Structures are given as structure tokens and as C-alpha cells.
Amino acid sequence: MTTYVVRRLLDLVFVLFGVSVLIFMMLRAIPGDAVAIMLGANVDITPERVDALRRQLGLHLPIHEQYLRWLTDVLRGDLGRSVWTGRPVADEILGRLPVTLQLSGMALVTAIAVSFPLGMAAARTRGTRADAWMRVSSIVGLTLPPFWVGVLMLYVFSIYLPTWPSIGYVPFGDDPLGNLARMVLPVIAVSLPMIAALTRILRSSLLDVLSLDYIRTGRAKGLAPRSLFYKHALRNALIPVVTVIGVQAGHLLSGVIVIEQVFAIPGLGRLVIGAINERNYPLAQGVILTATVVFVFINLLVDLAYAWIDPRVEYG
Amino acid sequence: MKRLAFLALMAFGVVLAQSGTLELAVDGSPAGLDPHKVTAFSSFTIINLIYDGLLEINADLQLEGALAESYEISDDGLTYTFTLREGLEFHNGRAVTSDDVVYSLERILDPETGSPQASRFTQVAQTEAPDDRTVVFTLSEPFAPFLANMPNLYVVPREVVEEHGDLQQVAVGTGPFMLGEIVPDTFVRLDANPAYYRSGEPGVAELRFNIVPEASTRAAGLRTGTYHLLPDVDPTSAETLRRAPNVTVLGTQDLAYTLLGFNTTRAPFDDPRVRAAIGAAIDRDEVVQAVHLGNAVPAGPLSPALTDWALDTDAYPCYAQDTDAARSALADAGYPDGFAFTILTFGTNRVVADTAQVLQAQLERAGLDVEVNVAEFGTFVQDWQNSNFDAFVSLNGGNIDPDGYLHRTFITDGSTNVFQHSDPELDALLVRGRTTADVDARQEAYREAQMLLACEGPIAHIAYGTLFSAHTAAVEGFVQMPTRNLRYLRNVTLNR
């Protein structure tokens, strides 16, 4: 087990290296650099000054030298400074990470808490009208883009419940109730597709397991239906569900990026979108690296969860 | 009865000087706050509330005193003497003297600063401070727009620059509001300056600029009263907000205009006959209806808001839209079957992208084969700067003096002459316009320049839109400015 975790963490180093090369090259492949964007379209400025600005930001160097410089700094733990604000990139990220983690974490927990009872109910009532209704609504839930749901809810709340604080963000420490109230709409918008996906997979996985021989045997030897369902069927049905949770967690991050725009929540999504638009290379690189680390860790946790659910899974 | 009146006062609240927080919602964070260094519009929104120049532009686009209470111009137009108000103070409590004005101009002109404002002041040969309240600028040649550039001479304190290296993260000015707190991507808080030089102002204790990128979110927030004021509302949101209870929508003529620009070094746009033919194919009224929902006016080279300078668009022959005439003019120029070209534009501004599409349809009716390339904004800027386009559709900001826009845009090798247009006759007019002090002679020069530019110039000017703002019933005294400057937030009061 320990060897497995260590090996996975070593993998992380290679993943990060690959990602760092990719984002570095991709960001620079977009036409226009920070200086061009900074100067915008309506400005008198001499070509000498433009060159001086590029030099200041190190943009005059060949791209491999720029990469080596950046990589050396990152290995020393220095992510550089934001081109526009001059603040350290690490500070910018640490300020936003908790916001995005809270939103994603609450969405994940909500999705699991809602989809498990729904999926189980659907499996037990297979073929009934309730089951059909749940299947249709889960397809609808899967296809609704969080962005659209977010804007719609915002609009509806602004008319019918104008006193509900639905926009922006306040730190939990400053105002716990205000913080949670502002999380409600974004969490619903982000978790809907995940609820739909998890409900569907849990239902079909449970139905598969329930038709297996050992369940029939259990029933024949007179096990209580409750114990048969929860203790024997559910646990076995969870394995594909956990895989889907891992995949969906990735989608969740992208949904959160969009929903932060809609609800004016100052998280990593807002930060990275702004950074890319401004060609703020150090900041964009720093955020994407951070997101990669988070994503890889989620996948690691999912893999470890298999062992907890299914004792047959071994890590060598 | 007295008691009733008292209760009514309690119920509706009393308007008190400097009370309450005015919540605004804007679309972007300021990218640095150094008034001598930044270029971003989102930065100037804040900077114009914190810093002052010697003069400022009022809502009627006329100049009036800010830090200066009066000025004199010598007869030869070379010496400008300004007298500062008495008792001016920076936000850090230090008295403002004429030395600060001298220092600020030196900082702008210093190549180390790299100030985008520098080109406005290159005619200044000498700046002197004979006493604490007098500043004398001596110009190397007469420069008529000099006064119009005075609002951009933001006066900053030397000791703060020296302590922090620059003013991107700190702000110490003389304006009605002082920098309180910046929480990136969340809000910028400004606090009222108790020592502001205009008495009774500002009327609110705090301004909070909430950063809200989504237009629909800003509109929803205004409906619920989360925000009191949206300085910039797009035409579609303006229509829906008009029907919301307790919301007032304001509109004023925008100084910025949409345009179709041509690369005059590329065939066939190097032929003035082709540019005039395209001009005749354009239906500006249709753009006004389709893109601006009627809230715009057809554009000539100067905004109708510049009442002293702009010609009426009826004066331009090519503004009579005529697709058949455009076709035959193209045939005369050697293109009986039209030609194919690409319009470069960007998608972040809905008005701009929509204008490009409407123009595409109009030009195709005249037999041209037009492709629209909607580029990401940074890509657009890059291609624009490098003149890497056949034609482009964009939005340009305006200026209260014709020189501020026409000179840099159209003179040979001008800093924003991306069309690479070169017309000796036009160059002579633009030089005459800026070096002549006599207003009548300047007006004559710019009349001729407008006639040259309207039909055969490198730009087809399309439309001046309406700038919309919206606020709730709690806001009193907000005045919109065509320049989008929010200086008059200093007059706003909140009733609750």
C-alpha cells in the first residue's frame, strides 16, 4: 500500500513535468503577449518602450530559455510574480484555492448525498412510473449546462426571492450564514449533472448486481431483504460508481470555473480565465499546475477507495 | 402633526452627507493603479476618482478647473501659466505645491516610466514652479490641444513613488475618494476624502466596485438591490432593466464609435475609389437599428458630441446609401465582379461583433465576397498592431479635442495609423490644426480634414452608440459622462 502511494506520487512528478511543458508551449502559441494586451488598441507608445517592457518580463528570450528559467524558479518553490499586479503568484493562488475547494467539495458531497438515495430507489422500483420519471430527469440533468442553470436560477431568485444573497462570496470565517447562503445556487448548478450521472450509474450497477447468482442464493437461504440489498448488493455495486465519481470530479472542476464567472465568486476559475485573457503567463501556469496537482490527488484517492470497498483489489 | 412628520422622516430616512456605501458592479478588476503607467479602462475608472489633473472635463465636454483655479495663455501660444487652488492636500495629508506638478510631468516624460501619456506632452520644453501655487509650461511650438491634455497630467506625490517604486499597488492622490482596500476579482473599496477641496463632497462615505464579469449577474444584482449602480449596461440589458421596478436607466451619447478600417497598403484598398464605393454600400441606419436597437446615430469622423467641431453627416456625399452606385463605382475601379476579403474583429464586445456581421451582409449585397474572422481579443490586438488585416471592425474611444484622435490615427506614421495611410494633404491639415491657436482657423482645417476622411479615408466610421447606466431608486444625483469617466460619483448621495 505505502509503496503504491509512493509510486503514484512519483508518477505525479512526471505528470507535472509533462503538463508544465504543455501549458508553457500552449500559452505561448496563442498570438499576442502580455505587452501587446497591456498596451491595448488605443495607445501612443514608442517601439523602444515596447521592447523595454518585453525585456523586463523576459519575453525577449528564446522560448526554451524562458522555460528553463521558469522551471528552475518553480523547482526552488518560486512560481514568479503576476505580470499585471506584481504580486507573487503563490499568494494569488493560495487566496483563491480555498474558495474553489469549498465550492467543489460542497458540490461533490451534495451530488453523492442526493444521487445515492435516488439511484437506490430507482433500482428497487425498476419498471415503475417513478423509475421512468427518474431516468428521464437524469437525462435532462446531464444535458443542462451549469452555466445556463446558474443564470436561470439567478434570474428567478432576483424576481421571486430578492432578499436571498445569491451573488458573490464572503469568507466563512467572516459570516458563516452568508457564506453558506451564497453557496446554495452555485452548488446546485454545478452538482446537477453529477447527480444525474451518479444516479444513472448506481441504478444500472445495482440492477446488474441484483441479477447475479449470489443474490438469488442469498434470497433463497432466507436473508432479510434489507441486509441483502445494503450489505451484499450495494457494496458490490459501488465499484463502477467510484470510478465515475473520479471522472466526474474532473468535470466538476471545469463546471466550477464557469459557475464562478456567473456568480462572481473569486476562485481559481476567475483567476485562470483572467490570466489567459491577459497573457499573464506566470499566473496562468501557476494556476494550471495547482489544478493538475489537485486533480491527480483526487484520482489517487479514488484508486485508494477501491481497496476499501473491495478487499479483492490489491496494490503491489 | 409634528410627530407624524418626524415619523415620516424616520420611515423614509434622511439624506445625510457622507453616509452609506454605494455598491457598484463593474466587469473587470483594475490592472494596476499607476496613473502614469496603466492603459486599461478598468484602471482609469478607479484612478479618475483618486487623482486629479490641473483641469477636468465636465459633463458638457468643456474644460474646467480641477487642481488649478485659473490659467493664462501668452499671446504667442507658447507659455501656459496655471494657478493652483489654495489649501490642496494629498490623501497622506501633505500640502500640494507646484513642485508636485513639475515632478509629475517629469515622471510622465521620463523614458524609464514608459508612460503612455508621454506623447501628449512632448511639446513641453520647460516646466517651472516660480512659487508654491504657480506652474509655468513653456512649449517648443504652439500646440492648440495642450489644455485638452491637462486632465491627463495626474498629479502624484514624489515621496510615495520613491517609497514604493511605482503607484500600481498604492494610491495617494487629491481626489474625492481614497483607496481603501483591493480584494482581487472581488471588490475595490474607496473611502471618502474628508479633506477634498470641493465643499460638501463627496456625498457617500464609501464606494464599493464589485467585480462581476457576467452582464446578466450584474442586472440581477441591480434588481435585488445588491448593487445600487451599474455604470455600463449593454443595450439589451438596458431594455430589460427599463421594465424592472425601482430601476432608472440613463443614456447618453457615447464618444466611442464603431468603425470599418482598411489596410491601405493592400490592394484593392489602396485605391480611394474602392474605399468610397464600400462607403456607398454601407447602410449605417440599418446598423443603428439592427445592432443598437435604434439607440445610436450614424458616425462621421468626429462625434456629434463635439458640437464645435463635427460636421453633420449629411455633408458627406458617400453617406447616401446606394448599393447600385457602389456596384458601378467598383466596376469603374476595375472590379466589375467584386473581390473577396476578410474582416478581422473580436467577440468580447457584442456591439462590435454584431456590426461586423451586418456590414458583411451589406457588402455582399454590393457583390463583394466577405468573410468575418472573429478572433480572440489578444489575437485581434496583435494583428491590429502589426497591420496584419485586409479590413477590421472595432470600437475606438473618442477625445474632446479633434487633434487627440485624428492626429495619431491618420497622420503618416502616426502611432495608431495601423492602416498605414499616407495623404500629404491630410497631413498638412492635421499639423495646421494642432499648431494654430486661432479657433476659427482650426475649425476650418478640421472641416476639410473631415471631408477628406469621410468617404476616401482609411476608415468608414459606422455609428456612435448610446452609453447606458442604470441605478436603483436609492441613488440620487448620478450624472453620466460621454467619456465614461465616473468623476461625478462625488456628487451621488444614497437615501435609504
Task: Give B-chain residues touching A277 at CB under 8 angstroms.
Answer: 377-378
How many CA atoms are closer than 13 Å to the CA of A282, on its beta-carbon side? Answer: 24
Any B CB within 8 A of A41 CB: yes
| Domain contains B316 | yes
Residues shown for chain B: 496
Query: What residue in B sits closest to A33 (Cα-Cα)?
Result: B378
Among A25-29, B46-50, B433-437, top mean pLDDT goes to B46-50
Per-residue confidence (pLDDT) for residue B269, from 0 to 100: 94
**3-state DSSP call for residue A82?**
coil
| Domain contains B238 | no
Cα–Cα distance, A174 to A207 (Å, whole number): 47
Per-residue confidence (pLDDT) for residue B12, from 0 to 100: 41
Instruction: Note the pLDDT tens digit of each residue in B108-136.
Output: 999 888 787 888 898 999 999 999 999 99
Stronger pLDDT, A56 or B97, i.e. the higher one: B97
Optimal mutation site among B167, B185, B419, B483, interface A, most CBs of chain A within 10 A = B185
| Domain contains B419 | yes
Here the CATH number for the domain that contains residue A284 is 1.10.3720.10
Task: Give A-chain residues touching B114 at CB under 8 angstroms.
Answer: 45, 49, 52-53
The pLDDT of A294-309, averaged and rounded, is 81
Number of domains in chain A: 1
The pLDDT of B238-249, averaged and rounded, is 92
Contact A84 B223 (CB under 8 A): no
Per-residue confidence (pLDDT) for residue B380, from 0 to 100: 85
| Domain contains B479 | no
Number of domains in chain B: 1
Instruction: Note the pLDDT tens digit of each residue in B308-354.
Output: 899 998 889 888 889 999 999 999 999 999 999 999 999 878 889 99
- Residue B119 φ then ψ, to 5°: -65, -15
Per-residue confidence (pLDDT) for residue B304, from 0 to 100: 87
Does position B449 have pLDDT exceeding 50, yes or no? yes
| Domain contains A18 | no
Optimal mutation site among A44, A166, A276, interface B, most CBs of chain B within 10 A = A44
Q: Which of B116, B185, B213 sits opposite A45 (nearest CB)?
A: B116
Among A13-17, A297-301, B206-210, top mean pLDDT goes to B206-210
- The shortest C-alpha distance from B150 to chain A (Å) reads 16
Contact B210 A264 (CB under 8 A): yes
Look up the pTM and report it: 0.82
Does position A243 have pLDDT exceeding 50, yes or no? yes
Does position B4 have pLDDT exceeding 60, yes or no? no
Contact A270 B225 (CB under 8 A): no
Which residues are CB-contacts of B387 (< 8 A; sequence separation ≥ 6)? B263, B265, B418, B419, B420
Does the CA dihedral B63-B66-B72-B78 come out positive or negative? negative
Cα–Cα distance, B251 to B238 (Å, whole number): 9
| Domain contains B274 | yes
Question: What is the percentage of chain A residues whose pLDDT exceeds 90?
Answer: 25
Here the CATH number for the domain that contains residue B287 is 3.10.105.10
The pLDDT of B176-195, averaged and rounded, is 92
Per-residue confidence (pLDDT) for residue B242, from 0 to 100: 92
Contact A277 B214 (CB under 8 A): no
Cα–Cα distance, B165 to A155 (Å, whole number): 45
Cα–Cα distance, A55 to B494 (Å, whole number): 48
Contact B111 A261 (CB under 8 A): no
Q: Which domain holds residue B264?
A: 257-466
Question: What is the percentage of chain B residues whose pLDDT exceeds 90?
Answer: 68
Least confident of A91-105, A132-146, A171-185, A296-310: A296-310
| Domain contains B297 | yes
Per-residue confidence (pLDDT) for residue B47, from 0 to 100: 95
Chain A 21-40, residues with CB within 8 Å of chain B CB atoms: 30-33, 36-40
Least confident of A106-110, B12-16, B31-35, B61-65: B12-16
**What ranges make up the beta strands (E) of B310-458?**
340-346, 369-375, 391-396
| Domain contains A267 | yes
Contact B213 A261 (CB under 8 A): yes
Least confident of A22-36, A200-214, B252-266: A22-36
| Domain contains A16 | no
Q: Where is A305: in which H helix or E strand?
A: helix A281-309
Cα–Cα distance, B308 to B323 (Å, whole number): 33
Cβ atoms of residues A284 and A268 within 8 Å: no
Instruction: Note the pLDDT tens digit of each residue in B341-386.
Output: 999 999 878 889 999 999 999 999 999 999 999 988 778 888 888 8
Among A121-135, B56-70, B104-118, top mean pLDDT goes to B56-70
Query: What residue in B sits closest to A41 (Cα-Cα)?
Result: B381
The pLDDT of B388-395, averaged and rounded, is 94
Per-residue confidence (pLDDT) for residue B10, from 0 to 100: 42
Helices A235-262 and A176-210 cross at an angle (nearest 10°) of: 140
* Helix ranges restricted to H, A161-234: 176-210, 213-220, 225-227
Instruction: Note the pLDDT tens digit of each residue in B143-152.
Output: 989 999 999 9
CA angle B124, B125, B131 (to 5 degrees): 85
Contact B118 A44 (CB under 8 A): yes
Q: Where is B124: in which H helix or E strand?
A: strand B124-131
| Domain contains B341 | yes
Per-residue confidence (pLDDT) for residue A42, from 0 to 100: 47
Per-residue confidence (pLDDT) for residue A12, from 0 to 100: 80
| Domain contains B406 | yes
Q: Which domain holds residue A124?
A: 89-315
| Domain contains A129 | yes
